[in-house]
Amino acid sequence: MTTTTHTYTYTVVGMTCSHCVSSVSTEIGLIPGVSDVRVDLDSGAVTVTSEHSLEETAVRAAVDEAGYELRRPEELNGSTKRTEQ
Ligand SMILES: [Cu+2]
């Protein structure tokens, strides 16, 4: 019996405490196929393990639902430096 799992890493901005972490974890955990969510509060790194391939839009929507924002690495470091408050 072989089970293929997919692991994805995202960056979520806006989390400030363990409550934020649990909100994000809960929302992402509701996506069908997701078996594990690990959130590092300091870096904002979110590692998602899924039994199916995940659409980034689904993860983005879940993070949005929790009240935070998903960023791609290139959005963090790249040329898209926009300041919106
Ligand atoms: Cu919080």
CATH number at residue 31: 3.30.70.100
Within a domain: 37:
yes
Within a domain: 73:
yes
Averaged pLDDT, 64-76? 85
- The pTM for the full model equals 0.82
Within a domain: 43:
yes
Q: How far is the CA of 4 from the centre of ligand 1 (A)?
A: 33
Ion ligand 1 contact residues with beta carbon within 5 A:
16-17, 19-20
Q: What integer best gives the mean pLDDT of the chain?
A: 89
CB atoms within 10 A of CB 78: 9
Distance of CA 71 to the CA centre of its chain: 8
Q: How far is the CA of 35 from the centre of ligand 1 (A)?
A: 23
pLDDT-above-90 percentage for the chain: 76
Within a domain: 22:
yes
Within a domain: 17:
yes
Within a domain: 85:
no
Averaged pLDDT, 63-79? 81
Q: How far is the CA of 3 from the centre of ligand 1 (A)?
A: 34
Does 76 score more than 80 pLDDT?
Answer: no
**Predicted confidence band of residue 7 (pLDDT cuts 50, 70, 90):** very high
Q: How far is the CA of 20 from the centre of ligand 1 (A)?
A: 4
Residue 13: per-residue pLDDT: 95
Nearest alpha carbon to residue 47 among 11, 83, 4, 2: 11
User: How many domains does the chain contain in total?
Assistant: 1
Nearest alpha carbon to residue 38 among 27, 49, 30: 49
Q: Rounded to an integer, what distance in angstroms lies between the CA atom of residue 76 and that of residue 21? A: 20
Within a domain: 54:
yes
